């Protein structure tokens, strides 16, 4: 693989860029692989990458029914943070965040990780206490966060209106090295690196069946024929229930639309990411200048990648309340993805009732930030049967009642 | 130069001059102008700079598809960035400024990028800025971000208002061109409720400009008659300046009406968002012209052929004195003819087709216009303005045969139906080879809840570039029958000129070398060229979505209206597959950008969300309430006196309540009536306690759990009569708990005879608390509130001070306490009466914080503090409230799961710092060592922590591993900064353990 650099660009400029190679090969599937990953989203690709890089398993195929990165990985609002409350979450998200720090160098692909800082606003006394608690937990988990007062919030984000009247900003949880990255680049960077290791990324190849013998996986049926494998990783987000069904087990998961929108691009005016949970919306500014906006999930289960307008309306209301200046901006585009939500809002990275089949799903509304860490841990689980990063995220937790509930900080008002 | 002609301009009123400014320069236009036409009339062709290379940009279109002419409009609270000049109506006093340049539009240092463009191909940023790592954060990224964005960020608060309208109709027709008008007429004549919206201020669309004849007369006559007829019909709503923005599931359509953008001094809202529910939607949205891809096609003065015609016919504006027309279809000849008829020079029509045009070609030649067939433009000359073109053979590689001097080039690559609204909700497209366009596939329309199609498309939007009225009539007839009506309407006769077929020309000339391709623009705003799309294909970005994202083609504010088809044609050629195989990117709402203000509507500031007020709210407001939002309520956190701090106020309120008499407005407390023969059985399922055996006249503290066993709410339940209970919930929980009850009743126990009603707002409730509580009630008089008549956990109806009351003898503070409910409309009077009568007993209202402190002093848990969705009643030592006699209750089975029954769960204890200080909120206790992920091992956490005014020291509650077995042990609680606070495990009841104070 030819390395990317400013020098390479200069060299190519003088021959009209005719020398650039394909970022990834487009091979036909082989008869058999050591491991097959279903789903070329960020999590699937990262899993494959670390299977190769950390565990030397390179005879791997990644099967994608559409185009790689075209699921939620290519639709999300790219917020990266690790200020989670519960230990297992903080561990895997912080692992991911710290891998993001060097990901561009590791992949030789600029994923534009931008640790510009994330503020989660506290607008009720209850939130104040919740975020102070998170800051305490984070300090013990090795995650650098800080509870800051309203004045500091305003300094960090001058376009914010903090005086109410309905929900004055009381303070916030500040993670200075949270931020954003370019979503496509994360998928493409991993894909290029996987392809370079000799892995086959097969697009437009939908898995339609999981073949088993004596309770063990032996391969998959796809729209490009049957392919054999020893190990199978299912990493298909909103379609997890569908693929698990092919393997003969059920998941405690629901698929719901989550929407986002962007404004037209304007000159830089916001240097941080802000999440406002009481009014329910969040916003950041992309490197292109668009205000990137998101909110809560739609209330119904669906597979269509669009949602209902009233959610957009609620989100925009919340953000005009927080950032009055956006009232005169225009919404350029709205879209939706199908997110996979579990009962405790935490992911599942687990062995399954079928030997050799592993599942990685349930990232729901917030899995972009987890991609490198999830890939790291899930690859370890697939390769060795155990990973400390994934140990608590097993399927058995739902039977045992050992939930990892992150809705805690936004729990109940008194 | 571009200028205003002495005659013509069907949309302008030459008697109404309008003064406006552009980049500070004072200019004049006419009423009816758009900002773009007025600027062109003043020879202002240069209107902006492109995004990436800061290339000079002139207007290329005359409508919604314009990618270039974006402006900073207005000032202060009326400032708007990225306003499209082509759809901005001119008004007197308009202030516009161009965007994305420094220091000025004419001299922009950013234009340096254009010389570096060979180093900045598609996706260059993915390949560079990688090393060294710190450079990205400190140098590269700030630089990239600084050069991002187009318009300026608004600074002042929006001074305008916005509103939402709701409408319901049989047929919503989007687009008021002749197809939309005809469809509306047919549907309305058939008796259907019709709504017709048009984004422009005027009706009729392109037909009057294109010279279409209807029923033997000019199109305008038919348009005027039809609009007048529709306007007279009671079953028709007509809205101009109103754009169909998005089509959603089940016939839900968003329309965006710009009420006062053209008259900003007029009273009333700026924009109105219509939310329309229609049985059927007709998209009669017309078609958009495509540019041609040749080198230099982005130089100001190169424009779409239809747009040049629009400016001449609609606004009396000529773009240049000498216009070269370049085309692959007949329609552009109309522009040549219109220009010639307006007395302007057309040195040549360059037609890439070897066969040239039909009747329009003859007409052009008859006017003396030179027509060159099989030719192409090799290159446009000029910098900030076209100065000439080099002509070559389309079949060749671009060697120049001839140069023609000109100051305008007008191009047509054919027309693409506007299929956006058709596609938003799943309508599929079909590639029409003959017309070289994607058009709606009528067999795969968006479907509604019943599986039947609910969108249909008519006229040019349906690919009918001629015989528009016949198509509209047929589509409308289909809609009428879908709505269960009948029509035998006939189409008016439409005079059409026969045209020769379009020839798809995606690159000019066919064999253009890289040098030309890297100057052939596809996306003018985002600076995406033919060579960029080809590079994407070369690098394996084969999916159209990949190519789009890699090159940013079609991602600008115009969302690729003029560039997408050209781009994917290049991609398909490069990949060697057919265009339909490549497919389009997804069409997403809105059709063109709509204001955030309109989306939010009226709801902002004070009325952002409904504010729930208790009957005593105004008293609180007038008496120093320091507010705290609780759900949609606002509750006083404390009442400030003079320049007291909140801490001081809380201290005072607690002590006064403990020593004398406190009043709490408890009206926000949830109150849900549960009634019916099965109510007891139902409540036994909802609560962990037994509620069916509660005696009328008595109260019981109850716990509610989720299906997963976690404690979700608590409150006092009173049995009112044999079949009626009143359940108190937390203030924030009332709606949630009521919904929870209804969910179970409606989905699981629908056969149980139970009725629930949320009566929270029907009552005002006051907690009268403290040693003097009984005294004040006795002074007011009416009913017996003595310990004998009304014992602890009892309730009674009666009168106090003349008010009808229900008195509950319950206590959340540990003091003698009565919670008294009165009908809401008497709440304020009752409150006043208590204050007046309580004067001599030292009465003082208190807020939520004092409430919290007093309950913590007593060791009472608080939902949301001691619970967080992961805590079960057993963790809080509330076993006594979990009935062992019942077979089942919500959460019971869950609480038997292994992790729930695990003895290692953290349990509730009291905590006291060794130095009397207040433990930090949310602090964790640490044990030895770290876990497998290197995190410190935690063994407990603080759930509530306060300074206790009563005890004069810090008190806290917390959950601790084996806590109740470790009384007296001292734990380490690190602060965020790493310093440690030490606290001892104690009994959680800090105050009056025996309950002596409340049981009097
Ligand atoms: C609007 C929105 C905003 C979001 N914002 C954020 C955010 O700000 N921060 C954050 O951290 N997270 C965010 N998320 C969540 C985040 O996008 C996801 O959690 C994450 O991208 C999931 O990645 P994935 O690889 O698991 O799934 P995907 O990227 O969805 O990949 C799954 C892939 O599986 C493929 N597939 C499915 N079925 C099959 C089959 N049978 N055969 C083959 N392939 C199949 C799909 O085509 C898809 O490409 C957001 C999500 C959405 C929708």
Task: Give me the domains of chain B, ranges plus CATH numbers.
Answer: 162-287+417-495 (3.50.50.60), 291-413 (3.50.50.60), 516-577 (1.10.10.1100), 670-760 (3.30.70.1400)
Of A307, A322, A342, the position where a domain reaches its end is: A342
pLDDT at B327 over 50: yes
The reported pLDDT for the residue numbered B345 is 98
Residue A154 belongs to a domain: yes
Distance CA B820, CA B809 (A): 9
Per the listing, tokens 């994917």 go with B568
Clarify whether residues A128 and A268 are in a common domain: yes
Distance CA B169, CA B278 (A): 5
Residue A90 belongs to a domain: no
CATH number of residue A233's parent domain:
3.50.50.60
Distance CA A134, CA B686 (A): 32
Residue A367 Cβ contacting ligand 1 at under 6 Å: yes
Interchain pair A306, B712: CB under 8 A: no
Residue A181 Cβ contacting ligand 1 at under 6 Å: no
The reported pLDDT for the residue numbered A414 is 28
Residue A106 belongs to a domain: no
Q: Among candidates B164, B282, B283, B185, which has minimal Cα distance to B227?
A: B185
Q: Among candidates B206, B212, B506, B209, which has minimal Cα distance to B335?
A: B209
Atom of ligand 1 nearest to the CA of A70: 49
Clarify whether residues A383 and A359 are in a common domain: yes
Interchain pair A87, B935: CB under 8 A: yes
Distance CA B144, CA B443 (A): 46
Clarify whether residues A311 and A359 are in a common domain: no
Distance CA B482, CA B331 (A): 35
Clarify whether residues A155 and A260 are in a common domain: yes
Residue A373 Cβ contacting ligand 1 at under 6 Å: no
Clarify whether residues A174 and A212 are in a common domain: no
With beta carbons less than 8 A apart as the criterion, state whether B290 and B413 touch.
yes
Angle of CA points B55, B59, B64, to nearest 5°:
120
Of A342, A368, A394, the position where a domain reaches its end is: A342
B863 touches chain A (CB under 8 A): yes
pLDDT at B309 over 60: yes
B871 touches chain A (CB under 8 A): no
Cβ atoms within 10 Å of B622's Cβ, excluding its own: 8
Q: Among candidates B991, B921, B925, which has minimal Cα distance to B956?
A: B921
The reported pLDDT for the residue numbered B497 is 87
Of A287, A315, A342, the position where a domain reaches its end is: A342
Q: What confidence tens digit (pLDDT) does each residue in B432-489 have?
A: 999 999 999 999 999 999 999 999 999 999 999 889 999 999 999 999 999 999 999 9
DSSP secondary structure letters along B904-938: TSEEEEEEEETTSPPPPTT-EEEEEEE-TTSPEEE
Residues of B in contact with A132 (CB under 8 A): 920-922
Interchain pair A133, B121: CB under 8 A: no
Please, where are the H alpha helices in B660-763? 679-686, 734-747
Atom of ligand 1 nearest to the CA of A42: 25
Distance CA B706, CA B714 (A): 12
With beta carbons less than 8 A apart as the criterion, state whether A37 and A62 touch.
yes
**B576 conformational bin, left if phi > 0, alpha if psi -120 to 50, beta if neither:** left
Sequence-distant (≥ 6) Cβ neighbours of residue B929 within 8 angstroms = B936, B937
Please state, in angstroms and as integers, the Cα–Cα distance from residue A27 to each residue in A35, A63, B907, following that order. 16, 11, 57
Predicted structure pTM score = 0.96
CATH number of residue A309's parent domain:
3.30.9.10
Q: What confidence tens digit (pLDDT) does each residue in B198-215 have?
A: 999 999 999 999 988 999
Q: Which residue of B has its CA nearest to A386?
A: B932
Clarify whether residues A232 and A330 are in a common domain: no
Interchain pair A321, B155: CB under 8 A: no
pLDDT grade for B110, boundaries at 50, 70 and 90? confident
* Structural element, H or E, at residue B573: helix B564-575
Clarify whether residues A192 and A238 are in a common domain: yes
Residue A372 belongs to a domain: yes
Clarify whether residues A327 and A355 are in a common domain: no
Distance CA B335, CA B320 (A): 13
Please give the DSSP secondary-structure letter assigned to residue B8. -
With beta carbons less than 8 A apart as the criterion, state whether B427 and B446 touch.
yes
Q: What confidence tens digit (pLDDT) does each residue in B734-746 have?
A: 999 999 999 999 9
Exposed e or buried b for every residue in B897-924, given b needs 16+ CB within 10 A?
beebeeeebbbbbbbbbeeeebbbbbbb
Distance CA B838, CA B818 (A): 14
Exposed e or buried b for every residue in B630-668, given b needs 16+ CB within 10 A?
bbebbbbbbbbeeebeeeebbbbbbebbbebbbbbbbbb
Beta-strand ranges (E) seen in B61-216 are 70-73, 80-84, 94-98, 162-174, 194-197, 213-214
Please give the DSSP secondary-structure letter assigned to residue B449. T
Cβ atoms within 10 Å of B934's Cβ, excluding its own: 12
Residue A354 belongs to a domain: yes
Clarify whether residues A245 and A393 are in a common domain: yes
Q: Among candidates B457, B385, B436, which has minimal Cα distance to B174?
A: B457
What is the Å distance from ligand 1's center to B890 Cα?
34
With beta carbons less than 8 A apart as the criterion, state whether B122 and B532 touch.
yes
DSSP secondary structure letters along A283-340: EEE-TTSPEEEEEEEPSS---SS---HHHHHHHHHHHHHH-GGGGGSEEEEEEEEEEE
B893 touches chain A (CB under 8 A): no
The reported pLDDT for the residue numbered A411 is 36
Alpha carbons within 13 angstroms on the beta-carbon side of residue A44 total 34
Residue A99 belongs to a domain: no
Residues of A in contact with B271 (CB under 8 A): none
Phi, psi dihedrals of residue B616, rounded to the nearest 5°: -95, 5
Interchain pair A114, B137: CB under 8 A: yes
The reported pLDDT for the residue numbered A412 is 32
pLDDT grade for B143, boundaries at 50, 70 and 90? confident
pLDDT grade for B130, boundaries at 50, 70 and 90? confident
Q: What confidence tens digit (pLDDT) does each residue in B262-301 have?
A: 998 999 999 999 999 999 999 999 999 999 999 999 999 9
* Structural element, H or E, at residue B626: strand B625-630
Interchain pair A316, B926: CB under 8 A: no
Distance CA B143, CA B139 (A): 6
The whole-angstrom distance between A130's CA and the closest CA on chain B is: 7
Please state, in angstroms and as integers, the Cα–Cα distance from residue B277 to each residue in A336, B169, B603, following that order. 21, 7, 22
Cβ atoms within 10 Å of A31's Cβ, excluding its own: 9
Residue A358 belongs to a domain: yes
Distance CA B718, CA B794 (A): 8
Clarify whether residues A225 and A364 are in a common domain: yes
Distance CA B311, CA B305 (A): 10
pLDDT at B342 over 60: yes
Distance CA B90, CA B261 (A): 9
With beta carbons less than 8 A apart as the criterion, state whether B962 and B982 touch.
no
Sequence-distant (≥ 6) Cβ neighbours of residue B350 within 8 angstroms = B324, B325, B326, B327, B372, B375, B376, B377, B389, B391
Please state, in angstroms and as integers, the Cα–Cα distance from residue A231 to each residue in A37, A210, A227, A235, A377, following that order. 9, 11, 12, 13, 16
Structure tokens at B148: 């991002």
ipTM surpasses 0.85: yes
Provide the number of structural domains found in chain A. Answer: 2
Bond preceding residue B590 cis, omega within 30 of 0 = yes
With beta carbons less than 8 A apart as the criterion, state whether A83 and A118 touch.
yes
- Which of A44, A96, A237 for a ligand 1 pocket mutation test, highest count of atoms within 8 Å of Cβ? A237
Q: What confidence tens digit (pLDDT) does each residue in A42-86 have?
A: 999 999 999 999 999 999 999 999 999 999 999 999 999 999 999
* pLDDT less than 70: residues of chain A: 408-414
Clarify whether residues A44 and A169 are in a common domain: no
Per the listing, tokens 């902006």 go with B48
Q: Among candidates B567, B541, B537, B572, which has minimal Cα distance to B554?
A: B567
The reported pLDDT for the residue numbered A256 is 94
With beta carbons less than 8 A apart as the criterion, state whether B472 and B460 touch.
no
How far, rounded to the nearest angstrom, does the alpha carbon of residue B87 sit from its chain's CA centroid? 23
The reported pLDDT for the residue numbered B224 is 98
Burial class (CB in 10 A: 0-12, 13-18, 19+), A385: exposed
The reported pLDDT for the residue numbered B682 is 98
Q: Among candidates B765, B865, B763, B858, which has minimal Cα distance to B811?
A: B858
Atom of ligand 1 nearest to the CA of A340: 19
Q: Which residue of B has its CA nearest to A201?
A: B540
Residue A221 belongs to a domain: yes
Structure tokens at B508: 């000019």
Sequence-distant (≥ 6) Cβ neighbours of residue B145 within 8 angstroms = A268, A287
Clarify whether residues A198 and A325 are in a common domain: no
Beta-strand ranges (E) seen in B730-878 are 755-758, 763-769, 795-800, 803-808, 817-823, 843-845
Residue A233 Cβ contacting ligand 1 at under 6 Å: no
User: What is the average pLDDT score of chain B?
Assistant: 96
Residues of the domain holding A162? 116-178+255-342
The CA R_g of chain A, rounded to the nearest whole Å, is 21
Per the listing, tokens 């990783």 go with A233
What is the Å distance from ligand 1's center to A239 Cα?
10
């Amino acid at each position: 693989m030819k390395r990317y650099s400013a020098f390479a660009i200069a060299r190519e400029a003088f021959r009209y860029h005719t020398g650039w190679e394909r970022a990834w090969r487009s091979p036909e599937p082989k008869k058999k692989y050591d491991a097959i990953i279903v789903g070329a989203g960020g999590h699937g690709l990262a899993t494959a990458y670390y299977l190769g890089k950390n565990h030397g398993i390179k005879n791997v195929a990644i099967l994608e029914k559409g185009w790689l990165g075209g699921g939620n990985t290519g639709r999300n609002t790219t917020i990266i943070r690790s200020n989670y409350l519960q230990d297992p979450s903080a561990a895997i998200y912080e692992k991911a965040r710290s891998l993001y720090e060097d990901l561009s160098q590791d992949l030789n692909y600029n994923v534009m990780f931008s640790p510009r800082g994330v503020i989660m606003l506290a607008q009720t006394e209850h939130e104040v206490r919740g975020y102070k608690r998170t800051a305490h937990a984070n300090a013990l988990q090795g995650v650098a966060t800080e509870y800051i007062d309203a004045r500091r919030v305003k300094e960090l984000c001058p376009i914010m209106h903090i005086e109410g009247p309905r929900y004055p900003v009381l303070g916030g949880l500040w993670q200075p090295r949270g931020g954003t990255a370019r979503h496509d680049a994360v998928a493409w960077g991993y894909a290029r690196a996987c392809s370079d290791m000799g892995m086959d990324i097969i697009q437009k190849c939908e898995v339609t069946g999981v073949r088993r013998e004596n309770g063990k996986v032996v391969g998959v049926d796809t729209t490009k024929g049957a392919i054999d494998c020893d190990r199978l990783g299912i990493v298909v987000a909103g379609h997890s229930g569908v693929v698990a069904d092919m393997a003969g087990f059920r998941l405690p998961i629901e698929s719901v639309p989550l929407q986002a929108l962007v404004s037209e691009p304007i000159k830089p005016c916001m240097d941080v990411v802000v999440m406002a949970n009481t009014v329910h919306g969040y916003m950041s500014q992309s490197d292109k200048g668009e205000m990137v906006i998101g909110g809560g999930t739609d209330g119904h289960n669906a597979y269509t990648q669009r949602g209902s307008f009233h959610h957009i309306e609620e989100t925009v209301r919340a953000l005009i309340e927080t950032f009055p200046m956006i009232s005169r901006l225009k919404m350029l585009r709205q879209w939706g993805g199908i997110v996979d939500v579990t009962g405790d809002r935490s992911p599942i990275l687990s062995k399954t009732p079928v030997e050799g089949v592993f599942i990685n799903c349930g990232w729901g509304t917030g899995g972009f930030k987890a991609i490198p860490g999830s890939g790291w841990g899930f690859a370890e689980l697939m390769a060795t049967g155990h990973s400390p990063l994934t140990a608590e995220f097993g399927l058995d937790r739902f039977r045992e009642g050992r939930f990892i509930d992150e809705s805690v900080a936004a729990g109940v008002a008194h | 130069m571009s200028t205003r002609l002495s005659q013509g301009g069907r949309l302008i009123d030459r008697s109404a001059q309008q003064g406006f400014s552009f980049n500070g320069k004072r200019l004049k236009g006419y009423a009816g102008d758009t900002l773009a036409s007025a600027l062109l009339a003043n020879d202002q062709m240069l209107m902006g700079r492109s995004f990436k290379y800061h290339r000079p940009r002139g207007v290329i279109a005359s409508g919604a598809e314009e990618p270039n002419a974006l402006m900073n409009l207005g000032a202060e609270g009326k400032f708007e960035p990225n306003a499209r000049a082509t759809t901005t109506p001119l008004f007197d006093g308009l202030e516009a400024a161009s965007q994305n340049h420094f220091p000025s539009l004419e001299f922009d240092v950013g234009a340096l990028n254009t010389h570096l463009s060979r180093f900045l191909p598609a996706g260059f940023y993915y390949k560079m800025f990688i090393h060294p790592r710190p450079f990205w954060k400190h140098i590269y990224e700030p630089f990239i971000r600084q050069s991002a964005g187009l318009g300026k960020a608004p600074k002042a608060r929006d001074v305008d208002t916005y509103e939402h309208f709701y409408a319901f109709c049989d047929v919503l027709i989007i687009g008021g061109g002749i197809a939309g008008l005809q469809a509306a007429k047919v549907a309305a004549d058939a008796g259907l409720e019709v709504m017709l919206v048009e984004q422009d201020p005027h009706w009729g669309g392109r037909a009057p400009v294109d010279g279409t004849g209807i029923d033997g007369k000019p199109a305008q006559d038919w348009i005027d008659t039809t609009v007048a007829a529709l306007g007279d019909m009671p079953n028709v709503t007509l809205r101009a300046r109103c754009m169909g923005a998005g089509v959603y599931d089940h016939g839900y359509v968003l329309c965006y009406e710009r009420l006062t953008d053209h008259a900003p001094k007029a009273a009333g809202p700026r924009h109105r968002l219509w939310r329309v529910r229609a049985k059927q939607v007709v998209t009669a949205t017309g078609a958009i012209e495509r540019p041609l891809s040749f080198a230099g096609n982005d130089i100001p003065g190169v424009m779409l052929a239809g747009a040049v015609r629009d400016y001449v016919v609609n606004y009396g504006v000529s773009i240049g004195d000498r216009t070269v027309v370049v085309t692959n279809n007949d329609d552009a000849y109309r522009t040549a003819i219109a220009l010639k008829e307006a007395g302007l020079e057309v040195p040549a029509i360059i037609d890439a087709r070897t066969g040239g045009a039909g009747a329009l070609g003859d007409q052009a030649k008859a006017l003396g216009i030179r027509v060159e067939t099989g030719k192409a433009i090799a290159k446009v000359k000029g910098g900030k303005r076209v100065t000439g073109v080099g002509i070559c053979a389309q079949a060749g590689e671009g060697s120049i045969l001839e140069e023609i001097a000109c100051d305008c080039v007008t191009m047509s690559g054919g027309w693409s139906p506007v299929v956006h609204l058709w596609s938003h909700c799943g309508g599929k497209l079909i590639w029409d080879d003959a017309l070289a366009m994607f058009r709606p596939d009528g067999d795969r329309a968006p479907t509604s809840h019943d599986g039947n199609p609910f969108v249909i498309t008519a006229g040019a939007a349906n690919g009918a570039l001629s015989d528009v009225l016949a198509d509209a009539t047929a589509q409308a007839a289909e809609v009428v029958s879908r709505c269960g009506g009948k029509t035998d309407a006939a189409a008016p006769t439409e005079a059409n000129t026969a045209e020769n077929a379009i020839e798809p020309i995606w690159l000019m000339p066919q064999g253009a070398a890289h040098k030309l391709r890297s100057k052939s623009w596809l996306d003018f705003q985002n600076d995406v060229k033919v060579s960029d799309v080809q590079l994407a294909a070369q690098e394996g970005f084969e999916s159209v979505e990949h190519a789009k994202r890699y090159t940013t083609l079609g991602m600008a504010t115009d969302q690729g209206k003029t560039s997408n088809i050209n781009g994917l044609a290049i991609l398909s050629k490069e990949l060697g597959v057919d265009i339909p195989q490549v497919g389009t990117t997804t069409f997403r709402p809105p059709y063109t950008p709509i204001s955030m203000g309109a989306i939010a509507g009226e709801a902002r500031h004070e009325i952002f969300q409904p504010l729930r007020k208790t009957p005593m709210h105004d008293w609180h407001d007038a008496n120093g309430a320091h507010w705290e939002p609780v759900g949609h309520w606002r509750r006083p956190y404390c009442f400030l006196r003079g320049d007291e701090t909140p801490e001081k106020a809380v201290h005072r309120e607690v002590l006064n309540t403990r020593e004398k008499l406190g009043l709490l407005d408890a009206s926000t407390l949830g109150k849900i009536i549960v009634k019916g023969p099965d109510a007891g059985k139902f409540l036994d399922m909802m609560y962990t306690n037994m509620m069916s055996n509660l005696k009328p006249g008595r109260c019981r503290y109850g716990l509610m759990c989720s299906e997963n066993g976690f404690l979700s709410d608590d409150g006092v339940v009173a049995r009112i009569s044999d079949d009626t209970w009143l359940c108190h919930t937390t203030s924030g929980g009332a709606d949630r708990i009521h919904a929870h009850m209804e969910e179970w009743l409606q989905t699981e126990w629908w056969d149980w005879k139970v009725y629930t009603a949320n009566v929270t707002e029907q009552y005002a409730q006051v907690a009268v608390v403290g040693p003097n509580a009984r005294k004040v009630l006795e002074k007011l008089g009416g009913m017996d509130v003595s310990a004998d008549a009304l014992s602890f956990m009892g309730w009674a109806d009666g009168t106090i001070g003349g008010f009808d009351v229900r008195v509950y003898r319950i206590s959340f503070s540990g003091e003698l306490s009565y919670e008294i409910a009165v009908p809401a409309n008497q709440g304020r009077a009752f409150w006043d009466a208590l204050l007046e009568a309580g004067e001599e007993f030292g009465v003082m209202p208190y807020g939520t914080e004092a409430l919290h402190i007093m309950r913590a002093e007593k060791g009472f848990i608080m939902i949301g503090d001691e619970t967080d969705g992961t805590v079960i009643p057993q963790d809080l030592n509330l076993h006594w409230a979990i009935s062992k006699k019942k077979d089942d209750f919500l959460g019971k089975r869950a609480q038997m799961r292994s992790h729930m029954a695990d003895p290692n769960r953290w349990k509730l204890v009291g905590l006291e710092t060794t130095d009397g200080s207040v433990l930090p909120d949310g602090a964790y206790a640490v044990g030895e060592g770290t876990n497998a992920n290197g995190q410190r091992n935690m063994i407990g956490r603080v759930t509530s922590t306060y300074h206790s005014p009563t005890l004069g020291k810090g008190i806290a509650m917390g959950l601790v591993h084996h806590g109740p077995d470790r009384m007296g042990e001292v734990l380490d609680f690190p602060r965020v900064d790493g310093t440690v606070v030490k606290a001892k495990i104690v009994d959680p009841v800090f105050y009056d353990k025996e309950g002596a104070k409340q049981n009097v």
